[in-house]
Structure 1
Amino acid sequence: MKIWVKSLGSVLIAGTLLAGGTTVGGLLTDAPRAYADEAVQRNVINVTGSGEVFIKPDIAYLSIGVEAQAATAQEAQKATAAQIAKLTNLLKNTWKIDAADIQTSGFYVQPNYTYNDKEGQKLKGYNASHTLQVKYRQLDKIGQLLDDASKNGANRIDNVRFTVENPDQYQEQVINKALANAELKAGIIAKGVKRQMGAVLSVSQAGVSSAPMYEQNYLVMEKSASNSAADSAVEPGQIKVTTTLNVQYELK
């Protein structure tokens, strides 16, 4: 958390305004929880400002894996190991993805049972799964990469998640928007109680976050019969970068 403070007595909980000993409702919600000098309490406004910017993602996280079934746990694990080795070789040597950008995100071997009233529970075999998380930055080639992975043994492509690798570079934009939003709210409150808004007394930042504008788990689209040679269609969309500021103003 980053905090800038101009000292002026004690600070009230954000969202509370006391004017002449009376709480102003509507835009303000919380009751005061800090005890301060009465004169200070009557002359501050606490608001929360939010800012957001929409940007194009610059990195994708691909979940690519292999599943296999066999009569024994060893056979199932051996089958996935062979396919994962082939898939990893493809990613590193054909697609030139650095080893640091390829990480095992899931691995299991477990029994597979069937059940019926006559025989009860019966062991049918074993399932094995090995999933890789792959960082990839050439977003326009993701469809082609996923198709290639499928041809080379990947039978699980769970999702593709788009984001920005360094959201901090957008801090200035979102902070300025959050400050403007806080100033607008404080101005409305001051006008509503027939007072004037004064200087900023303190500002605290709740943090910067980035997230997709929408969640979509299945981004590998089926090819149409009329366009069977085309790559799978994967759309990166936009990323929303947001921040929240708690701002305290003097009330004149």
Structure 2
Amino acid sequence: MRKGPIWLVILVALAEFSTQQQVGLWVSGLGKVRAVPDIAVVDVGVEAQATTVSQAMDMARTAMNQVMAALSGHGVASQDIQTRYFNISPVRRWDERRNISEVIGYRVTNSVTAKIRNIKDAQRVGRIIDAVAEAGGDLTRIGSLRFTIEDPKPFQAQARAKAIQDALAKAQQMTEAAGVELGKLIYITEVGTGMLTPRPIYFKEVTPAPPEEPTPFSPGEEEITVSVRMVFDIA
């Protein structure tokens, strides 16, 4: 069987290769919107230690019931409270004389995640945290407190529109600088969305000393970002 000239084979290969490459004008756009959080999310619970499981359970149960009552009494709905962690574990101590680890008691940990709404009242979060700390006493443990936006979709839509405008402006600038005309849009995709939030506030232990003024907290702002990629023909 006769084969074609080698130069023809090379040309065909180059043509196939070129069709696989990116063609047209590719640009990316970034849109940002800042918004004030509308909910606070707090991880709160109790930790009790005693010589027996039964004693530790009783202590934790009593304290947790008081914590739940404090949350409910300050308007936190039951559907906004979810058990996050429950654990019963032995407490051990190393006996140097006998060279063994011995059980000296038991620890019970019970924690929930609670959503605090209506935080336009700047002192509402502080009042709830203080009430929880007082209700649980020395057994109270607060893991973290963070502010967020429950439904970011409207802000994402605004950021998306800004991202598209950013990409269009880049495309126009590039074609003008290159001395060509911007053709029709042939491809567009959303690369990703994000929400930059302040770092959560972590607590190791809470000392229940009711202040005259609630513990101060500030929700600050969150930054919602959307990235897009667009491809245009070059006329």
TM-score, normalised to structure 2, is 0.79
TM-score, normalised to structure 1, is 0.74
- CA gap of 1:45–1:71, structure 2 versus 1, over 3 A, is same
State the percentage of identical aligned residues.
24
189, 198, 201: which is aligned to 1:204? 189
1:174 matched to 2:186? The reply is no
SS at match of 1:152: helix
Residue 131 of structure 2 corresponds to which residue in structure 1? 148
1:246 matched to 2:229? The reply is yes
Q: Tell whether the 8 Å contact from 1:219 to 1:235 is kept in structure 2 after alignment.
A: no
163, 168, 183: which is aligned to 2:168? 183
Residue 19 of structure 1 corresponds to which residue in structure 2? none
Residue 96 of structure 2 corresponds to which residue in structure 1? 117
SS at match of 1:84: helix
1:108 matched to 2:92? The reply is no
20, 23, 37: which is aligned to 2:19? 37
Largest Rg, 1 or 2: 2
Q: How far off its partner does 1:90 sit?
A: 2.2
Q: Which amino acid aligns with 1:218?
A: Y
Which consecutive residues of structure 1, in runs of 5 or more, have no partner in the other structure? Answer: 1-33
Q: Which amino acid aligns with 1:166?
A: D
Q: Whose helix fraction is larger, Structure 1's or Structure 2's?
A: 2
Q: How far off its partner does 1:188 sit?
A: 4.5
- CA gap of 1:126–1:157, structure 2 versus 1, over 3 A, is same
Instruction: Calculate the aligned-residue CA RMSD, in Å.
Output: 2.8
Question: Distance between the aligned counterparts of 1:77 and 1:36, measured in 2?
Answer: 71
- CA gap of 1:35–1:217, structure 2 versus 1, over 3 A, is farther
Q: Which amino acid aligns with 1:160?
A: L
Which consecutive residues of structure 2, in runs of 5 or more, have no partner in the other structure? Answer: 1-15
* 1:32-181 pair list within 5 angstroms: 37=19, 41-42=22-23, 44-92=24-72, 94-119=73-98, 120-139=100-119, 140=122, 141-153=124-136, 155-181=140-166
Could you report, residue by residue, the CA deviation over 1:101-128 in whole angstroms, capped at 9, with x for unpaired residues? Answer: 1111111111111224323312121111
Q: How far off its partner does 1:197 sit?
A: 2.6
SS at match of 1:62: strand
Q: How far off its partner does 1:191 sit?
A: 4.7
Which stretch of structure 1 is more off in the superposition, 182-191 or 58-67?
A: 182-191
Residue 20 of structure 1 corresponds to which residue in structure 2? none
Question: Distance between the aligned counterparts of 2:43 and 2:83, measured in 1?
Answer: 10
